[in-house]
């Protein structure tokens, strides 16, 4: 097998698939392609929110016909790709068989876990004092994790253990997954094509003095983002502050989303998960202030915790925290000013490509 960077250039890299984080995966794989690596990003059956892939694989709906088509394609791909990088615990077909065949043929396996594919509990609900104090008022997102069936938890744990045991590199994309993936190798955050995002900065009107302050929430998954609580707070504060525009928009195609976000001053990311997502990174790049729930215990797991330009909040204190922020112009200006540099430093496609290039090189040693 290849043992250095020069030989890595001769290896094929299979990256799948287009679920969570697809925009970031496409972005960092563009960088690696430009460096001469033979890397392809695959999607399955459909494109979500106009997010791009290199190759879209389409399979029959009939399970048996789908399996036969995937099986045939796998053996066509096998000689071409030396590294197989799976995201979101999704493989080409039945994961034990897929992984064991790759090992049998001497292929290298990289797995990036991205969220609900491995989570069986929200550990902070047992330790965060604010969350614990409001247990009787927990949103359904919290309750659902506590009421996961034994079979559902076991299936996730078995899948995670199997993938981590047989993979050559185990990656998580945020500290919230650390307890769900014991023995993970490192945290590699979301990537974004920030150069593309920067092109949308011009849509915001120049001076705040001549327009309303705009607070925006555009949830990709309302139940996960805490949208019901955002809506309630927006309605209450909208009465008290008629000079501020509180706006919730439906999720939309990517370019439209960036244009909509670029007009806002404050973006509300999520109130439930405990960590910021790709939309927060885009908001930072667009010089927006960001509000989000950052679980304190997760902050301890990353070296850049003290520099994250996000106004921390949670589902139970959100309205109070938002009211404080909209009345603190200096805080808003500070978050806007620090956002782009943070995003460039930790989430640019180049930065994440550097990280994955090192991973690919290491697994080939």
Beta bridge partners of 214: 245
The per-residue pLDDT for 22 is 86
User: Does residue 247 share a domain with residue 130?
Assistant: no
pLDDT of residue 147: 83
Q: For residue 257, what is the enclosing H or E element?
A: helix 254-262
- Choice between 178 and 51, residue whose per-residue pLDDT is larger: 178
Looking at the structure, tell me whether residues 276 and 353 fall in a common domain: no
Q: Is there a single domain that holds both residue 185 and residue 208?
A: no
Residue 1: pLDDT band (50, 70, 90) is: very low
The string of pLDDT tens digits covering residues 220-241 is 889 999 999 999 999 999 999 9
What domain range includes position 212?
A: 194-346
Q: What is the pLDDT of residue 203?
A: 61
pLDDT at 19 over 80: no
Task: Grade residue 23 by pLDDT with cuts at 50, 70 and 90.
Answer: confident
How many structural domains does the chain have? Answer: 2
120 and 211 both lie in a single domain: no
Query: Which pLDDT band holds residue 3 (cuts at 50, 70, 90)?
Result: very low
Same domain, 32 and 21: yes
Do 25 and 50 fall into the same domain?
A: yes
Residues 242 and 183 in one domain: no
pLDDT digits (tens, 9 = 90+) for 56-105: 999 999 999 999 999 999 999 999 999 999 998 899 999 999 999 999 99
Are both 184 and 247 inside the same structural domain?
no
Same domain? 104 vs 208: no
31-64 pLDDT, tens per residue? Answer: 999 999 999 999 998 876 667 899 999 999 999 9
Q: Two tokens at 212?
A: 């309303």
Average pLDDT, the chain: 92
Interval 257-275: pLDDT, tens:
999 999 999 999 999 999 9
| CATH number assigned to the domain comprising residue 304 | 3.40.50.2000
Residues 127 and 173 in one domain: yes
Tell whether 206 and 220 lie within a shared domain.
yes
Asked whether residue 34 falls in the same domain as residue 97, the answer is yes
- Higher-confidence position of 207 and 148: 148
């Amino acid at each position: 097998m290849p043992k250095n960077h020069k030989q890595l250039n001769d290896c094929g890299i299979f990256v799948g698939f287009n679920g969570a984080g697809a925009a970031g995966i496409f972005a960092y794989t563009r960088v690696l392609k430009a460096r001469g690596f033979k890397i392809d990003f695959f999607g399955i059956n459909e494109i979500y929110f106009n997010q791009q892939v290199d190759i879209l694989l389409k399979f029959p709906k009939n399970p048996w016909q789908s399996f036969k088509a995937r099986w045939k394609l796998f053996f066509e791909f096998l000689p071409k790709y030396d590294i197989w990088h799976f995201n979101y615990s999704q493989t080409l077909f039945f994961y034990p068989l897929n992984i064991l065949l790759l090992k049998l043929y001497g292929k290298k396996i990289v797995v990036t876990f991205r969220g609900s594919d491995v989570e069986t509990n929200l550990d902070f609900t047992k330790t965060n004092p604010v969350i614990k104090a409001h247990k009787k008022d927990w949103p359904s997102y919290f309750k659902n994790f506590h009421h996961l069936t034994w079979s559902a938890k076991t299936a996730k744990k078995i899948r995670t253990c199997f993938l981590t045991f047989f993979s050559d590199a185990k990656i998580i994309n945020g500290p919230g997954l650390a307890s769900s993936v014991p023995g993970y190798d490192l945290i590699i955050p979301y990537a974004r094509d920030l150069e593309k995002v920067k092109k949308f900065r011009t849509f915001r009107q120049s001076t705040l003095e001549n327009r309303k302050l705009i607070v925006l929430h555009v949830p990709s998954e309302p139940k996960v983002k805490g949208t019901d609580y955002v809506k309630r707070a927006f309605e209450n504060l909208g009465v008290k502050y008629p000079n501020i525009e509180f706006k919730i928009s439906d999720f939309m195609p990517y370019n439209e989303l960036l244009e909509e976000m670029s007009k806002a001053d404050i973006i509300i990311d999520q109130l439930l998960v405990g960590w910021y997502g790709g939309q927060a990174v885009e908001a930072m790049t667009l010089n927006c202030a960001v509000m989000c729930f950052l679980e304190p215990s997760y902050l301890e797991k990353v070296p850049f915790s003290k520099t994250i330009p996000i106004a921390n909040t949670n589902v139970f204190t959100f309205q109070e925290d938002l009211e404080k922020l909209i009345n603190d112009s200096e805080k808003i200006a500070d978050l806007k000013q620090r956002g782009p540099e943070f995003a460039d430093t930790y989430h640019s496609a180049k930065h994440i490509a550097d990280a994955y290039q090192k991973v690919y090189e290491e697994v080939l040693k």
